[in-house]
Structure 1
């Protein structure tokens, strides 16, 4: 029996095997800064940060975090929605050899308490509108310091001024910071890129504790090494054959605290030198649609409910938005109905195809081909270098032939 019969069903250009570089995950950011220094890394409500700037900012923030005592192997929390500050925090932590522990902003205090205590988080980077929630939770944890950022720090000067006048207090972003806590912008301002400590970070070092959704009980942390995340990002990059490094724009609407958005969105973008149009709230469909049209986004990882909402949005049906820039969309987290796929592809001219994965993988193991046959109800084909087998339900061992049910 052919060990990997699915390879012959791959789209043209998808390799059966990938040579994975033996590098830490932040290599992608450093390489993108070298190859595409002036290209936008993040785009947020008109404000852009280039790859060179993002690399420098993460070096400076890493230096600041090191001054707070963070060292290799420490677990550091991120409690920030999809904004440039999430990207800064994520890569600054990794550059110190520390471990990212990202928290769902919808968590209750009890859920936050469990996660940070289970992971051993002592420092957390937090968006200011979640600051008071964290201060209430802090006494029941080992968190000794919060590093706070305000969403207006990522806006253009004009929008930042207007935000201060109209939305900062109402949205809960204006806070009275405790003396022991620090502002992220102050940590960055106090350091130069060359202040970043030289830390030996290897592909086998732990990069991430990714907490599961808790569907089978209490949420558990899946451990991912740098090499796991590097491999999965490259598998996704090579799967989408009709894309070009340094020239794509990813609509970053699915949450970055979730491993699907983190890997299929942010890490794919880093590996491909793509820009990320940041959307903090995917339920804000006007913001989602405006970002697609304004920034000509080409890659759009999402979930069926989001694609369906776009399909049925009155302004989309009225032709008020041009969505024709979209090339490729991997759908995850739930089954993709054929009618959702066909309607979205008709509206955009792009390809929408379902993938499958799990936090332990660290996100994706299977995907339907971008151009080949997509079978309704199928999770698709195993990615390059993924081993997969279907075994007998009777003994859980016997490998079955194609067409058999197991």
Structure 2
């Protein structure tokens, strides 16, 4: 922030003066960096001071294709009209500004219509993971206080088994309501359309209601529009409160830093119950006037065919997506030449995966690091066209980043500490959790991430691991991600996960769970993996135990669930 041009930029976008004054105190050798507008693909304008649903309004008279899903296409004109009609229906049910409307939908046209309808009346969209059990759904419905639920009919039985909630109205839709007649419907969502007693049919509501006469006024900076629940990998899921401005920050980053344009086509594989389902890159693509292809469930062949036929140029996806594509036997026959921005997100990107992707496709696989609390890339770190470097997760986006020690003091560059962010992308806090909010969201704007990393001399962030996942063996700190990255370089390995397990002498020791590629099963032993690690890791980091699994447990976004593996180990060891 000492650079006059950077300081002038932050002053021009209305950055708080006390934040700027604090930033001026940091020295070049400190692990502190602010976004530099010279890193952007285009000269970035001011953040829009508008409600997020303006994205649907700005092209309400356009017949260009906005959304594609299961062979069905709808235009910007249809998207705006249909979301207007549903907004009117929700208002007729008594939904008003500030109310929470829960969605229980995969990536589909209905979900995007619902999001814009909910926000047009000033309500808050609360997406629910489509893999939830009744217990998990019940928790989230009760915690959010949602009065309306919009769900697929195939998922309605899950809601039926919820014993208690505040939901008063249920809107149901069949996945085929917005699909081509000959669409290949994922079995998970494919059920015969039937009338469900005491519910409303989405198609009937859209038919019977006219467009809104006026939209609810909102304060973009303070009014909430989206509440995504954290994955619960470190404890009980928390509802992250995002304002309209928070979402605009992320749209701004993807549009101007990544350079998403009107002719871009986004393959939306990140689920819409995750912040990346909206932020990376559905909303930015719609803002730019591009086309979004919504994928309800990952299938390598289907995704490759969509990427080839629709000339997909933008894909934000977890590492497992890229691994899945490369492991598909006919991967090389598909034409991916249109792909301009492939970016790995949602989980750490193993270097072996990036190297293999870059080599096979000739396309640079970008990396990124963000949290639900930062609205993905709103105020986070991304590698982008003008600022990228292999081996790191990227540079700070719209805001500031610093690395601190356990006393909260900024550490020198190159020293590992806790990553902290501040900026317009940082959410407002946790729903109904004032104490948790106070611990994570500081009054001076800084967000505690609970993640470890270090800042290099070129302003790039190097992610180390979650502090809670660090293994301490004989006093040495071992980052599971580093060990996993080495194991992933073995040609036989499909996936790997590393945890610390109790050890009577070392306190903890390293255990690796390894999933082998099909052609290597029965041909590679535990000792082969250990020996491979010995060649590339210090002795204290080498796994002492190896266990082969058919599949590594992951959440629906593709993030490895080390917590699940730890719980299994503790149960096994008594």
Count residues with an aligned counterpart.
386
Aligned residue number for residue 225 of structure 2: 207
TM-score calculated relative to the size of structure 2: 0.64
* Contact kept? 2:366, 2:383, Cα under 8 Å: yes
* Contact kept? 1:311, 1:340, Cα under 8 Å: no
CA 1:304–1:210: 2 relative to 1, 3 Å: same
Aligned residue number for residue 348 of structure 2: 335
* Contact kept? 1:63, 1:197, Cα under 8 Å: no
CA 1:30–1:347: 2 relative to 1, 3 Å: farther
- Residue by residue over 1:291-323, the C-alpha shift from the partner in whole angstroms, topping out at 9 and shown as x without a partner, is 101111110010101101111210113x1x111
- Residue by residue over 1:129-185, the C-alpha shift from the partner in whole angstroms, topping out at 9 and shown as x without a partner, is 101221222x411111210111111123x337x97xxx999933434401x211011
Aligned residue number for residue 96 of structure 1: 121
In the alignment, structure 2 segments of 5+ residues that lack a partner are 1-26, 418-574
Aligned residue number for residue 129 of structure 1: 154
Structure 2 residue matching 1:61: 3-state secondary structure: helix
Structure 1 residue matching 2:170: 3-state secondary structure: strand
Q: Are residue 265 (structure 1) and residue 265 (structure 2) matched?
A: no
Structure with the larger strand share: 2
Displacement after TM superposition at 1:400 (Å): 2.9
Taking the aligned partners of 2:146 and 2:263, their CA distance within structure 1 comes to 37
Structure with the larger helix share: 1
* Contact kept? 1:124, 1:143, Cα under 8 Å: yes
- Residue by residue over 1:368-401, the C-alpha shift from the partner in whole angstroms, topping out at 9 and shown as x without a partner, is 233544231x2211003x11112234x222x233
CA 1:29–1:151: 2 relative to 1, 3 Å: same
Aligned residue number for residue 314 of structure 1: 329
Displacement after TM superposition at 1:197 (Å): 4.6
Structure 2 residue matching 1:314: 3-state secondary structure: coil
- Residue from 220, 223, 231 that aligns with 2:241: 223
Aligned residue number for residue 291 of structure 2: 275
Taking the aligned partners of 2:161 and 2:195, their CA distance within structure 1 comes to 14
Taking the aligned partners of 1:288 and 1:169, their CA distance within structure 2 comes to 17
Aligned residue number for residue 147 of structure 1: 171
Aligned residue number for residue 159 of structure 1: 182
- Residue from 79, 82, 86 that aligns with 2:111: 86
- Residue from 388, 405, 408 that aligns with 1:396: 408
Displacement after TM superposition at 1:84 (Å): 0.4
Larger RCO, structures 1/2 (Cα 8 Å, 6+ apart): 1
Taking the aligned partners of 1:396 and 1:354, their CA distance within structure 2 comes to 27
Aligned residue number for residue 171 of structure 1: 190
Taking the aligned partners of 2:271 and 2:46, their CA distance within structure 1 comes to 29
* Contact kept? 1:351, 1:370, Cα under 8 Å: no
Displacement after TM superposition at 1:18 (Å): 4.8
Taking the aligned partners of 1:107 and 1:169, their CA distance within structure 2 comes to 13
Displacement after TM superposition at 1:336 (Å): 1.0
Displacement after TM superposition at 1:333 (Å): 1.4
Displacement after TM superposition at 1:265 (Å): 2.1
* Contact kept? 1:303, 1:334, Cα under 8 Å: yes
- Residue from 136, 140, 143 that aligns with 1:111: 136
Taking the aligned partners of 1:66 and 1:114, their CA distance within structure 2 comes to 25
Q: Write the mapping of 1:371-390 to structure 2, written as runs, cut at 5 A.
A: 372-376=387-391, 378-384=392-398, 386-390=399-403
TM-score calculated relative to the size of structure 1: 0.89
Displacement after TM superposition at 1:45 (Å): 2.8
Q: Are residue 301 (structure 1) and residue 316 (structure 2) matched?
A: yes
Taking the aligned partners of 1:351 and 1:258, their CA distance within structure 2 comes to 25
Structure 1 residue matching 2:404: 3-state secondary structure: coil
Structure 2 residue matching 1:357: 3-state secondary structure: strand
- Residue by residue over 1:254-296, the C-alpha shift from the partner in whole angstroms, topping out at 9 and shown as x without a partner, is 21111112211221222221211111001x1121111101111
Taking the aligned partners of 2:264 and 2:205, their CA distance within structure 1 comes to 32
**Larger Rg: 1 or 2?**
2
Displacement after TM superposition at 1:350 (Å): 3.0
Structure 2 residue matching 1:292: 3-state secondary structure: helix
Displacement after TM superposition at 1:343 (Å): 2.6
Q: Are residue 256 (structure 1) and residue 301 (structure 2) matched?
A: no
RMSD: 2.3
Q: Are residue 29 (structure 1) and residue 43 (structure 2) matched?
A: no
- Residue from 300, 320, 338 that aligns with 1:285: 300
- Residue by residue over 1:198-245, the C-alpha shift from the partner in whole angstroms, topping out at 9 and shown as x without a partner, is 42122021111111011221111010011111111111221213x42x
Taking the aligned partners of 1:261 and 1:21, their CA distance within structure 2 comes to 21
CA 1:192–1:216: 2 relative to 1, 3 Å: same
In the alignment, structure 1 segments of 5+ residues that lack a partner are none
- Residue by residue over 1:315-360, the C-alpha shift from the partner in whole angstroms, topping out at 9 and shown as x without a partner, is 113x1x1111110022111111223223323443433211111111
Taking the aligned partners of 1:247 and 1:170, their CA distance within structure 2 comes to 31
Taking the aligned partners of 1:39 and 1:346, their CA distance within structure 2 comes to 35
Taking the aligned partners of 1:76 and 1:373, their CA distance within structure 2 comes to 39
Q: Write the mapping of 1:52-67 to structure 2, written as runs, cut at 5 A.
A: 52-67=77-92
* Contact kept? 2:65, 2:291, Cα under 8 Å: yes
Taking the aligned partners of 2:194 and 2:156, their CA distance within structure 1 comes to 8
